[in-house]
Structure 1
Amino acid sequence: MKYQICLLGAALAVAPGWLRAQKAASTAASVVIEGRFTGVPDSTTAAIFEPLPGVPLNYFFTDGPNEAVVRGGRIRYQLRHGQTGFVRYNGKYVPRNLSFVEPGAHVTFSLTPGVGNAPPTVVYTGANAAGNNLLEQGQLLSGGLASGERIGTVLASAPTAAAVLAALEAETTKPKALLTAALKAHSISQRCYEVLTAEVEQRLLYWSGNALAFHFKDSAKANLHLQMPEAEARQLTQTLCARYNPALPRYRYSSLGNLAIVAGLREQGVLPGPSPTARTWAGYTPQFAQVNSGMSRYDYLPAAAQGHAVGDMLLTALAFNAMSPADFAKVAADYRRLFPASPYNPIIAKSLPKNGPTAVVAGQNLTFGTLAPGARALAFAPAPGLDTVRTLAGLVRQQFAGRPVFVDFWASWCGPCIAEFRHEPGLHEFASKNGIEVLYISVDKPGFREKWAALAAKNNLRGAHYLASEAVQKSLEKVIPYLPTYMIFDKNGRLVEASAYHPSDGEKLYQQLRERLGL
C-alpha cells in the first residue's frame, strides 16, 4: 500500500574540514534541551530528531532512542552527537518546528498547548533564544503554505527575470535584518547568525524552485500566471539555483532537501548540465517508491551532491521501512561502492539488519499470530485457509466467526500509529469485559516480518496480529487512505464502522463500540 508522506529531509554537501571539526565538537561539548510544559499530562512523550555525525538533520531517521518523557511538567534530553544544526520535535503536545543548536548549547523553552486545533505557544530561552523564537514564530520565511503562496505571487509580479529576482530577494530583507539585530544585541552567536541566514536563503529557493519546477513540468496546472516569457523564466531559475546552490558549503546545515529541486530541474533540462552516464538510481525507483517517486532525478546531480541527496533518502527509507532488508542491502552496497568516503556510510552500516530473514518452511504460518497477556513474543499456530484470504472481511469471517472484532491498522514506520499504542491498555480491558476481539493488521512489507513481530511484543499489543498479504493490502488501498485507521466488525462479520474513534479517545471509542455492537 502507498500512503501520502511529506518529505523535507536534508541532503547537502559537506566539507571534509567541517567534518573533522564536527567530530571533535561532538566529543567535546554536549547539547542539552529542556522544556517546561504547562497543562500537559505527565508521561507524555516528545520525539526529538537531531543531526547525525557529518550530515544535516533527517526529518524521520534517528540512530537510537529519541524520546523524552514529561515528568513533573518538564522534559530534559541530551543530544548524543553534540553537533551544529537543527533539531526537530514531534509529539501530541510538542512544537513541530525546529530549533538551532551548536556544541555546548543549553536550549530551554516553555510550552502551553493550543486550544482546539491551534498550535502550542512556545517561547525559547537559553542559548540563541532570539533566533529560535524567530524560527518558531515563522519570521524567517515560514515553512507554511502562506509563504509558498506569497512567493508564487512574487514570481508573477514582473515581466523580466531581473525584476522578479529583485522582488524575491526583497523577501529575505526583513528576516536578515531581524537576525542582524539579534547578532548586534549579542542575543545569538555568530554561528547561529550564519546558519539561520543561510536557512532563510534556502527557504526562498525551496518555495521559488518548487513553483518553477512545477511550472516547467505542467504550466497549466501550476497556474503561476507568469508575466515573463519562458526564456526569462529559465534565466531566473538558473540564476536562483546558481546563487543559492544547496551544494555550497555555507548551506551544509540546511534543514531543506533542496538538492532534489536542483536534480529535478536538471532532469527537465531547465538547468544546464551533462546527461548522466549511468542511471543507477533510476533503476531503484520501485524500491524507493514508498518515500520518493522521483529517484531518477538524482542521477543528474554531480557526484558530491548525489552522494548526499541519495544518502539522505537512504536514511528516510530506513525510517519508513520502505523496502525489504535484502533490497536495502543491495542499494546500500551500490551506494557504498559509488561513495566510499560518504559520512552516511557508517550510519547506514550501523542500521543494517545483523541477521538474515528467518527461513520459512512451506505452508508454515508466520503472518497470523497472537500475543497473550504476559507473553514476550507472538505465538504462531497453523491457520488453515489463511493463504486463500483476499479481503479483510474474508479474514474476519474466517478467523473470528461469531465474535465482534475491533481492527487496528498500523505499520512499523507510522509514528502516529505507534503513539496510539500507549492508550491500548484501556481498550484491552474494555474489549476483554465485553467479548470483543482486538485484531492488529500491519501493512508492512513481508521482508519486515521480524520487525513487525518484535514491535507488537515490545508494545504489549495483546490480541491477534496479521501481517497483511499482498492480496489483502491491495484490497485495502481504496478503503484505508491513511494510517492509523480503526474499524469495527460485528459478530456476523459485517463492517459496522469504517472509521472508528482512536484508542486515545477513550470513552468516546467505548461508547461507539457499545452502540455499533449493541452491547
Structure 2
Amino acid sequence: MRIMQWAVAGRAAAKHTWVAGLLAATAFVDPRPVVVSGHLDHPLAPQVQVQYNENLLTQEPATLLTAKLDAQGNFRLVLPNLPGPMEVTFRNGDQSTRLFLSPGDDLRLSLDAAKFDETLHYTGTGSAANNYLAQATLRFTTARPDHPQRKIGTATPAQIVAAADAYRQEQRAFFAEHVANHPVPPIFRAYVRQNADFERASTLLYYGGFHASRPELNTGAIPADFYDFLAPLRPAQDSALALGSRTYLGLLQPLADARLPGPEAQPTQASLLASAQATFGNGRSRDLALAHYVYRLFNFQSPEQVAPKIAIFQHLNRDSSMARAVRARYRRALAVSPGQPAPTFTLLDNTGKKVSLSEFKGKVVYLDFWGTWCHPCLNEIPASHELAKKFEGRDVVFVYIDVDDKEEQWQQTLAAKYQLGPGSVHLRSPDNAVPNAYNVQSFPTYWVIGRDGRIVSTRAPRPSSGAETVALLEQTLGK
C-alpha cells in the first residue's frame, strides 16, 4: 500500500510539474490584449466590471475595469495587461461569474441578468473554456442535495471519501464529455483538473476538522492515513495561485488553519517557518499561508496579543502587499475593539424593510455574519433556534447578516431552515461594506453589542457553545 501511495504521489507531482512548465512558457509578458464584450438583457446595473490581480490575502482587486452599457445593453472591455492565463471575475450589479481568460482572447458573452447563471453563453476566442465553466456552475453547486459536504455530519470517514471521490469522478466525466466536442487549451485542462482535486480536498479537510471537534457524532475514528490526500496536491499549489484559482484559495485558508500553530501557541520564527514549509513548500503559497495565519489571529485575539506574531511574520514575509494588508488589519482591529462604538449600518431585511443598528439601542444585540454557502454556518441553525428561544421576550435581538449571497438563494434558505420570529432580524449585505467595517474574515462570526451600542465581544461564542453563549448574553443584559 505504501509503495502504491508513493507511486500515486509521483504521478501527481509529474502532472503538476508539467503544469508549472506550461506556466513558465507563458511567464513572459504577452502584449496581446484581451477583449470581453457582449450583450445583457434586463441588466442589474448600468455598467459591467471585470476584476483580476486580487490581493491574495484580502481578495481586493488590484485591477478593476468598468464599461457602461449602451442603450441596447451592449458593452466592450479591453484588458490591456493580463499577466497570463487566469481566472477573473465578471460582475453586473450583485451578480457575478468567473471567466477564464488568456492573452489574445476575444470573448463575447450574452445573458439575461434576471436569470444570470442560467442564460450565460459565450462565443469567440476562449468560448469553449467559459461555456464549460457556465455549465459546471449550474451542475456542480453546493446546493445539490447529494453534494458531499451535505454529508459531513453523518458520514463515516470511508463514506465521505467515497462521496468525494464519486463527485470528483462526475466532474471529470462531465469535463471529458465537453472537451470531446469543444477543444480547450492544455492550461485550462490543468486548471479544471486541479480545481476538482482542490474541491475534494476541501471536503475531506472540513470533514476531519468537524469530526475531531465533535466526538459525540460517533461516526468512527479518523484513520491515520486520512490526510494522505494532501501531499500529492503540494506541487500544484503555486501554479494554482498563478492561475487565480479561487477554489485553491478556498482550500489554502482552512489548510493553513489546520497545519499552522493555533491561536494560543507561541511559535518561534524557526518553528513557524518550518510548519509553513512542510505543508506549502517555499513558494508563494508559503507566503500567503503565513500572512493568512497572522491575519486570522485577529478573529481570536486582541490586537495586543497578535502584535508579537506580527513581528515574527515581518521577519519571514517576502510580499509587501501582504505586509500592508496585515498592518491595515491591525489598525481596523483597534477601531473595533471591545468598548468601542459598534459600526453603524442600514440594510434591507427579508421583507424589504430598511433596518438600522441604531434601532436596537437599549437592547443587547447578538450579531451573526453568515452565508448560505457556508456549511459551518448552516450547521449552527438548530442551535441558533434554541438560543433565541431561551431569550424570547427579553431585551436580546438576534441579528443575522447574510454575506455574498444572491437574494433568491438567501430567501429560499430563510424559508427552508430558519424560524422567523419577532426576536430575530434577517438582513442581507449586498456588498462587503458591513462585514469589512466589522473586520470579518471568516464565517460564521459572532459579535455581542451592549445596550449602549458599544462592542462587548468581537469573538462571541457560537450558538452551539450552549452555556458559554448564554452566560455572555446574561452578563451583558445585567450591565
Q: Provide the TM-score with structure 1 as the length reference.
A: 0.48
For 1:483-502, what aligned pairs fall within 5 Å after superposition? none
Aligned residue in 1 for 2:210: 214
Match of 2:246 among 255, 259, 263: 255
For 1:193 and 1:131, the matched residues in 2 are separated by 9
**Cα distance per residue 1:251-308 (max 9 Å; x no partner):** 4433122122223333599xxxxx95449999xxxxxxxxxxxxxx979855634312
Change in 2 beyond 3 A, CA 1:247/1:20? closer
Per-residue deviation, 1:346: 5.8
1:348-383 CA deviation, whole Å, 9 max, x = no partner?
679999xx9xxxxxxxxxxxxxxxxxxxxxxxxxxx
| Aligned partner of residue 71 in structure 1, secondary structure | coil
1:93 Cα deviation from its structure 2 partner: 5.9
- Greater fraction helix: 2
Contact 1:83 1:102 in 2 (8 A): yes
CA contact (8 A) 1:39 1:113 kept: yes
Amino acid at match of 1:99: L
1:474 corresponds to 2:474: no
State yes or no: 1:90 paired with 2:91.
yes
RMSD of the TM alignment (CA)? 5.6
**Contact map agreement 1:45 1:69 (CA 8 A) in 2:** yes
Task: Tell me if the contact between 2:317 and 2:323 (Cα under 8 Å) persists in the aligned partners.
Answer: no
Q: Which residue of 2 aligns with 1:132?
A: 130
3-state SS, counterpart of residue 33 of structure 2: coil
What SS class does the counterpart of residue 136 from structure 2 fall into?
Answer: coil
Q: How many pairs are equivalent?
A: 330
Q: Cα gap change, 1:68/1:180 in structure 2, threshold over 3 Å: closer, same or farther?
A: same
For 1:146, what is the secondary structure of its paired residue? coil
Deviation at 1:244, TM superposition (A): 3.6
Say if 2:58 and 2:325, in contact at 8 Å, map to a contact too: no
The change in CA–CA distance for 1:119 and 1:164 in structure 2 (over 3 A counts) is: closer
Distance 1:160 1:89 in 2: 38
Aligned to 2:41: 38
Question: Which residue does 1:241 correspond to in 2?
Answer: 230
Q: Which has the higher contact order (CA 8 A, sep 6+)?
A: 1
Cα distance in 1 for partners of 2:53, 2:114 equals 28
- The Cα offsets for residues 52-92 of structure 1, whole Å up to 9 and x where unpaired, read as 5xx8x778311244333222312322333342221123342
Please report how far the alpha carbon of residue 166 of structure 1 lies from its aligned counterpart in structure 2 after TM superposition.
Answer: 4.6
Report the counterpart of residue 144 of structure 1 in structure 2: 142
2:258 to 256, 260, 265: 265
Structure having the larger proportion of residues in strand: 2
Q: Which of these two proteins has the greater Rg computed from alpha carbons?
A: 1
Deviations 1:130-158 (A, max 9, x none): 3323322336973534378434438966x
Contact persistence 1:46–1:89 (CA under 8 A): yes
Letter in 2 for 1:114: A
CA contact 2:51–2:88 (8 Å) conserved in 1: yes
The letter of the residue matching 1:345 is S
Cα distance change of structure 1 residues 392 and 251 upon mapping to structure 2, 3 Å threshold: closer
**Residue 24 (structure 1) aligns with:** 28
Q: Which residue of 1 aligns with 2:396?
A: none
Deviations 1:73-130 (A, max 9, x none): 1232233334222112334264x23121222222221110236xx8662122233433
1:323-364 Cα shifts (integer Å, max 9, x gaps) = 99xx99999886553133xxx4368679999xx9xxxxxxxx
Distance in 2 (alpha carbons) for counterparts of 1:446 and 1:39: 34
Using the TM superposition, give the Cα deviation of residue 179 of structure 1 relative to its aligned residue in structure 2, in angstroms: 2.2
Specify every segment of 5 or more residues in structure 1 that has no aligned partner in the other structure, as ranges: 1-12, 270-274, 283-296, 318-322, 357-390, 396-413, 417-440, 448-470, 478-519
Give the Å deviation of 1:214. 1.5
- CA 1:215–1:20: 2 relative to 1, 3 Å: same
Pairs within 5 Å for 1:91-170: 91-92=92-93, 94=95, 96-114=96-114, 121-138=119-136, 142-146=140-144, 149-153=147-151, 161=158, 165-170=161-166
- The question of whether the paired residues in 1 share the 8 Å contact of 2:40 and 2:74 is answered with yes
CA shift at 1:443, angstroms?
A: 9.8
1:179 to 152, 163, 175: 175
TM-score (norm 2): 0.52
Residue aligned with 2:455, SS: helix
| Residue 202 of structure 2 corresponds to residue 202 of structure 1 | no
**Residue 315 to residue 39, structure 1, CA distance change in 2 (3 Å):** farther
Report the CA distance shift for 1:195/1:20 in structure 2 as closer, same or farther (over 3 A). Answer: closer
- Residue type of the partner of 1:192? F
Give % identity. 15
